[in-house]
Amino acid sequence: MGEKVVAGAFDLSDRQRYRTKLRQCLRGLERLLEEKRFDRPKNLMGLEIELNLAGADGMPRMLNSQVLEKIASRDFQTELAMFNLEVNIAPHRLGGRVFDRLAEELRTSLAYAHRKAGEVDAGIVMIGILPTLERDDLVSSNLSDVDRYVLLNDQIVAARGEDFTLDIDGVEHLTCTSKSIAPEAACTSVQLHLQVTPGRFADVWNAAQAAAAAQIAMGANSPFLFGRELWRESRPPLFQQSTDTRPPELQAQGVRPRTWFGERWISSAYDLFEENLRYYPALLPICDDEDPLAVLDAGGVPRLAELVLHNGTVYRWNRPVYGIADGVPHLRVENRVLPAGPTITDVIANAAFYYGVIRALAEDARPVWTRLPFEAAAANFDAACRYGIEARFTWPRRGRYGGTTEVDAVSLVRDELLPLAEAGLDAWGVEPADRDLYLGVIDERCRRRVNGASWQVATFHRALESGLSREAALAATTRRYAELMRHGEPVHTWPVGVPEAARLG
């Protein structure tokens, strides 16, 4: 969204000027594409992880400014609420032992951050939704004290014009309201970036959309919110509802939510940026002094600041990103599907699976998106969020007869997607040792039908059966999760249940 957003009021002329600037930016992007000004392929990938702060009791700690002061590293930044942080890993070239290097960097960074957080009685927990969060934790007074978050909240609340309604009907049913976007802060994710050329962008984005359901099924890690057991991956419905600028009347008219899966396969990166302008009013109409077309006329590279800012307020699960590095523009696909955690090994395994699968799908002679209706891909995504590793999907039938068939997530991943991921990682030049280690984690999750969400649910119910109250069982599950997360063995190996020490806290 941009670091230098300054809070202030907007008037009617601001929005009109911003819309004009957005159109200029879009024309600038179109010219950059026409003139083939974008960076050549470098096979660069990047990784961001949103984190929770919790105490030894498993409860959230509203201490991110103090923890960041202790960490004193530009790799760590604030996130939406005071119990959130984000860590950014520098871009790496896909190939060789890249995944082992990433894992080692993350271990070093997170261990350091955890030690520093311990100085103010907090710790780092890498999980999709912290099970111990309560409604009183997710209020506007607990938003990070940063202008861009305050302003974003004010603008979304003003656009909606009434309280936000959370209504998630899963294993149990949660209904409540919120006066702010603070519930969005419960969602902590892993964001995977891939720099791509304009010519490859559409194929990579379409492949990422098709693969999103399998990613969620394998990586689900967010089954609880406000003490209720909901979907196996409850972040997507929570994120959509807590950022929804549409009152019920606009929802009934079919106006698109700002958090969405999309509605069609694309043929160019331009399609997505253009849709964002066509469908979504500005939330932050802050204008830059740059004239992007004049910069292009002079042979320069425009920042397209308004387009970048607006793009950051449309929450696609696979988002297009325009950036400039070393004076050269580039495009990235930002994959925002996955929850954080459970362990660094699990995060890197999810990343290896993703980068391998999309490479293979994007280069397939018969692309999956030519054989799978977009509506089916969207329905697969919802099914994966609801049921996790037990989901069933619609998928193109193999062989010459065409059409689609229904397949369970585990069979699809083991029989079709893991072999594709293996071929994709080979195409990236990833060493077999890295490939086999991390794809082996995905295969074992399939074999045992275990991911973060299923472990959390099983452990919670075991704690309930032992006589703990719901609140105590959630806290004990969170403490045990944090303990095993720090041990670092992948989640499919974790024993179910809460030992006596974790029960007592």
Q: Residue 4: which pLDDT band, with cuts at 50, 70 and 90?
A: very low
pLDDT of 6 higher than 70: no
Query: Could you tell me if 311 and 41 are in contact, meaning their C-beta atoms sit under 8 angstroms apart?
Result: no
H or E element in which residue 452 lies:
helix 452-465
Note the pLDDT of residue 13: 83
Note the pLDDT of residue 398: 84
Return all residues near 260 (Cβ < 8 A) that are at least 6 apart. 240, 315, 316, 317
Q: Residue 505: which pLDDT band, with cuts at 50, 70 and 90?
A: low
Note the pLDDT of residue 146: 87
Burial class (CB in 10 A: 0-12, 13-18, 19+), 281: middle
Sign of the C-alpha dihedral, residues 102, 104, 106, 108?
negative
Separation of alpha carbons 324 and 30, rounded Å: 16
Residues 81-125: tens digit of each pLDDT: 999 999 999 999 999 999 999 999 999 999 999 999 999 999 999
pLDDT of 412 higher than 90: yes
Note the pLDDT of residue 463: 97
Note the pLDDT of residue 500: 75
Pair of tokens at residue 379 = 């329905």
Return all residues near 312 (Cβ < 8 A) that are at least 6 apart. 1, 2
Residues 441-486: tens digit of each pLDDT: 999 999 999 999 999 999 999 999 999 999 999 999 999 999 999 9
Pairing outcome for strands 318-325 and 315-316: unpaired
Pair of tokens at residue 214 = 């399998």
Note the pLDDT of residue 258: 95
> Rounded mean pLDDT of the chain?
95
Cα 287 off chain centre by: 27
Residue of 48, 54, 60, 183 whose CA lies nearest to 117: 54
Note the pLDDT of residue 9: 64
Residues 141-179: tens digit of each pLDDT: 999 988 888 889 999 999 899 999 999 999 999 999 999
Across the range 408-426, mean pLDDT stands at: 98
Sign of the C-alpha dihedral, residues 421, 425, 427, 428?
positive
Note the pLDDT of residue 501: 60
Across the range 203-211, mean pLDDT stands at: 98
Pairing outcome for strands 328-339 and 44-54: unpaired
Residues 19-61: tens digit of each pLDDT: 999 999 999 999 999 999 999 888 999 999 999 999 999 999 9
pLDDT of 3 higher than 50: no
Residues 377-400: tens digit of each pLDDT: 999 999 999 999 999 999 999 877
